[in-house]
Amino acid sequence: MSKPALYYATLSPPSRAVLLTAKAIGLDLELRPINLLNGEHLTPEFLKLNPQHTIPTLIDGEATIIDSHAICAYLVEKYGQKEQQLYPKDLVQRANVDARLHLDSGHLFARLRFLYEPILYYGSTDCSIDKIAYIQKCWEILEGFLKDQPYLCGSDLTIADFCAVATVTSVNDVAPIDEFKFPKVHAWLKRLAELPYYQEVNGDGADELKSIFKAKLAENRGK
């Protein structure tokens, strides 16, 4: 039986969320890197595979699955029988995980993209206080969810934590998280960073993305 194949980029927070999930369930993926900055996700071949031209994209047998949140849920459902707490079967618990996944896609990652994409791809120099403050409003939301629990959905680590941490750690240099205002967020980040596979799978890629963003912003402003 062939391994599931993942089109991904280490610069991509959603890709890293899927890689964190795969590591957590002990799943070996066939990794197929895509260079986003060179536009490899816009080639005719990739558009045929995924008309939305997003990564990650998962190929598992005859199935093609797009969107990191859907992929994470799928992998736990199919391959994570011993780690079901990552995407629980209980209807209420699962609904809470789904809600936090929508928090990532609709707020966390959407606001990161609103800041990063024009600078990385279109030569923008707009890294305004307003855009940064718009991202930082999310820290208040996360602090609220983490007020009385170690993870976003309670006492157990879930795929919602993987998706959110991949995004947060990709933008927390330009949009700092005040440790006095948001101590629970800082504790959550530290907790996730202690996972044995965290640095290799998420930390390094997040640091690389932040470095590229800073360099590209400086380059754009120097033109």
Which residue is catalytic, options 2, 12, 128, 211?
12
| Per-residue confidence (pLDDT) for residue 169, from 0 to 100 | 98
What residues make up the domain containing 48? 5-82
The reply to whether 12 belongs to the active site is yes
Give percent of the chain with pLDDT exceeding 90.
Answer: 96
Q: Do 140 and 98 contact (CB within 8 A), yes or no? A: no
> Does one domain contain both 77 and 104?
no
> Does one domain contain both 62 and 137?
no
> Does one domain contain both 71 and 90?
no
Give percent of the chain with pLDDT exceeding 70.
Answer: 100
> Does one domain contain both 53 and 103?
no
> How many Cα atoms occupy the beta-carbon half-sphere of 69 within 13 Å?
17
> Does one domain contain both 60 and 90?
no
Structural domains counted in the chain: 2
Q: Which of 21, 2, 19 is nearest to 10 (CA)?
A: 19
> Does one domain contain both 158 and 186?
yes
Bridge partners for 32 per DSSP: 7
SS3 at position 150: coil
Q: What is the pLDDT of residues 62-100, one digit of tens each?
A: 999 999 999 999 999 999 988 999 999 999 999 999 999
Query: Which amino acid is located at 156 in the chain?
Result: D
Q: Measuring CA to CA, how many Å separate 19 from each of 12, 30, 133, 163?
A: 11, 11, 29, 10
> Does one domain contain both 71 and 94?
no
Q: What integer is the mean pLDDT of 138-152?
A: 97
pLDDT at 10 over 70: yes
- Strand-strand pairing, 30-33 and 5-8: parallel
> Does one domain contain both 93 and 15?
no
Q: What is the pLDDT of residues 193-206, one digit of tens each?
A: 999 999 999 999 99
| Residue 214 to residue 82: CA distance in whole angstroms | 41
Q: Which of 81, 102, 83, 99 is nearest to 91 (CA)?
A: 99
| Per-residue confidence (pLDDT) for residue 2, from 0 to 100 | 87
> Does one domain contain both 39 and 112?
no
Task: Read off the pTM.
Answer: 0.96
Q: Domain with 124 in it: what CATH number? A: 1.20.1050.10
Bridge partners for 31 per DSSP: 6
